[in-house]
Chains A and B, each alone.
Chain A
Amino acid sequence: MKPTPILFLGDSPDLQTGLGRISRDLAVRVSSLPEFRVGFLGRGGCGSSQLPFHQYTFDERWDWGEQHLERVWREFSKGDSGILMTIWDPVRLHWLVDPRPEAFDQQTFSFLRRPPFRRWGYFPVDATGPGDRLTGLAVAAVRGFNRRLAYTPWGASILSGSLGTEVDWLPHGYDPASFSPRERAPGRMTLGIHAHDILIGCVMTNQTRKDWGLAFAAVADLRSKIQNLRFWVHVDAMVRAWSIYALIQDFGLADVVRVTMSETKNDVELSYLYSACDLTILPSLGEGFGYPIVESLACGVPVIHGDYGGGACLLRNDDDLLVRPVSYRLDGPYNLLRPVFEPADWSACIQKVLAESSWRDPERAVGIVEHLQWPRLWEGCWKKWFLEGLK
């Protein structure tokens, strides 16, 4: 049987972003199925010869690929009909399902109106909106897809409620060869932390949705309660949505904080740093999935997260790891509901988990996420999902 062309559209698979990683992990595995021929149209990045599929990239200034898709599809598909699989927020994809004639030349407009592919979408949902529905633009975009999949049961419930039709979900996986419990000493040595210090970690990008202010406020609150407290910050930029410098200075935490930069650590090195921690925190205001949650648990270290969004789903059975919001507010042009947290609640939750001796056994944390190890998740879920789509 001739393989079906499937073109992924998302962050370039050679990028170290969460979406880049998800796209890469899926595209690599789909490449192992003889039923598919895989290509990738990636935003940003420059491609990689290490990946087993053909890659096309475009610069980030070209938005979301709308000016490239037609040319790339014709080159990749060789005239066959096939599948376009997107791994992006739906608000980025409205042009794909409802193109405006003034935005395209006649040929591209006709191509997008009657595409020679089916649209499959894997949609991150990191926030809901008024009435527990996504904003209209997002709903219209998702509605135009032939197959829809959410990251988490929470995301699926928001999409289902917004569309009025059932949406399924599948989680991402992680590579256990990279993320697994390691000895504590090497990571502590890297950070210059003593064996008896209490080390809290936070792995987050520097963007508005990641509440670094909350993280520092909570750690500052803990400082008077835990003598030998240390705070490991792993971030991609010191100054962007937040100034990490200013937070360190204004909260007076210069002697407590240790910073590492994302581009300097590969996954295995990162796993040593996770493993060096007593616990980690992810004080973001909504996660589609929450890779730092999975990575920390996979390294045997408990993680505290807000009780909101897709990330909370992973911790639903371990309630003491979730901090309840005290309120909610609407944010940004797409009316996204964001939680509001009290730093003292995070501080209290951290102290409670530190006092719980059962978390010192790495197996407890690993047990929460071991089903997400790629070899298991691919065979048990994703492989079936892709093959069912061909029936």
Chain B
Amino acid sequence: MTMTVCMACPSEPVSGPGDDRYFVTGVGSVVAMYQELLEVAKADILAYLHNDVEIYDPDWPERVLAEFSDPSVGLIGFGGALRHGSPDLYRSPYRLQNLARYGYLSNTTDAEQHGQRFTGACDVAVLDGFALIVRRVILERAWHQDGMKQWAGWPVHKLIFHNYDYWLCGVARRQGYRIRMVGVSCLHKGGQTSTKPAYQDWLRERGLTDEQTHADAHRWLWDEMRDVLPWEVRA
């Protein structure tokens, strides 16, 4: 089993690549960059990490790969929630808030601000996008069509920046895989992309706003994932 670290750096370039790492730099859609990384990285396991994550556990690759030794595990992250979506999600009128996640666990430096600190490993319903480590085959089985164009991988035609984590978790569930959260000690700075002027300008040039892409992404997810939402796992 091989693993490649894939990092999209939408607002500023970083150094690299190393032997087992791929980077895409530039300003634009994170999801499109993730697709580019899928197409160049050849490993069985792809570790999509935000460029503002600092990992303090030196043995995190071993912890993650140990989880993947179980073939039922398809997707792993460093922060996840036990429930995704309200029970009212599809029986009541659409509300963005009904797509919220509940029971968030992580081992980030500020874990208590977002939920509960958890240093072990457990099944979760959904992961936060700052760390998504996925079996390549899950993405290769996710087919999309936009007009005459067909491809496997990330939904670059529907998502730009928001909700790609929710989408990937839904796809993993749809394919029958379990999702695991591993309590790797790390720092996620956050707010390093969507609030940056370069990204805002990129959106503005395309007649978009971050608020609108956020709203559109949720609405699309609500429509797209009704077979695997809401979802809950037992603690």
Binding site for B on A (CB under 8 A): 169-171, 317, 367-371, 376-377, 379-381, 383
Contact = CB atoms under 8 A, between A and B. Distances in A.
Contacts of B91: 169-171, 371, 377, 380-381
Interface string B44-58: 000000000000000
B168 to A, nearest CB: 20
Interface of A is mostly: helix
9 contacts: A169-B91, A317-B93, A368-B93, A369-B93, A371-B91, A376-B90, A377-B91, A379-B226, A381-B90
B181 interface: no
Interface string B84-98: 000001111110000
B226 to A, nearest CB: 4
Nearest to B226: A380
A377 B227 CA distance: 10
A369 B91 CA distance: 10
Contacts of B229: 380
B92 A371 contact: yes
A371 B94 contact: yes
Contacts of A170: 91
A379 B91 CA distance: 11
Contacts of B92: 371
A383 B90 CA distance: 12
A171 B94 CA distance: 14
Nearest to B229: A380
Contacts of A369: 93
Contacts of B223: 376
Interface string B214-235: 0000000001001101000000
A380 B93 contact: no
A317 B89 CA distance: 16
A142 to B, nearest CB: 20
B43 to A, nearest CB: 34
A369 B93 CA distance: 7
A368 B95 CA distance: 11
Contacts of A383: 227
A270 B92 CA distance: 25
Contacts of A317: 93
Contacts of A368: 93
Contacts of B94: 367, 370-371
A379 B228 CA distance: 9
A377 B90 contact: yes
Give the residue among A368, A369, A377, A380 with the most B Cβ atoms within 10 A.
A380
Give the residue among B89, B94, B226, B227 with the most A Cβ atoms within 10 A.
B226
Give me the 7 closest cross-chain CB pairs, A-B, nearest first.
A380-B90, A380-B226, A379-B226, A381-B90, A381-B91, A371-B93, A171-B91
Nearest to B90: A380
Contacts of B89: 380
Contacts of B227: 379-380, 383
A317 B97 CA distance: 15
Given A376-B226, A379-B226, A380-B226, A367 B90 contact: no
Contacts of A379: 226-227
Nearest to A377: B90
A367 B90 CA distance: 13
Interface in B199-226: 223, 226
Contacts of A376: 90, 223, 226
Contacts of A380: 89-91, 226-227, 229
A383 B226 CA distance: 11
B233 to A, nearest CB: 15
Nearest to B223: A376
Interface in B135-172: none
A169 B93 CA distance: 15
Interface in B75-106: 89-94
B83 to A, nearest CB: 15
A383 B91 CA distance: 13
A369 B94 CA distance: 9
A379 B89 CA distance: 12
A370 B226 CA distance: 14
B32 to A, nearest CB: 28
Nearest to A384: B227
Nearest to B95: A317
Nearest to A367: B93
Contacts of A169: 91
A172 to B, nearest CB: 10
Give the residue among A170, A370, A371, A376 with the most B Cβ atoms within 10 A.
A371
Interface in B85-137: 89-94
A368 B92 CA distance: 9
A376 B226 CA distance: 8
Contacts of A377: 90-91
A370 to B, nearest CB: 8
A73 to B, nearest CB: 31
Contacts of A367: 93-94
Nearest to A318: B93
Contacts of B93: 317, 367-371
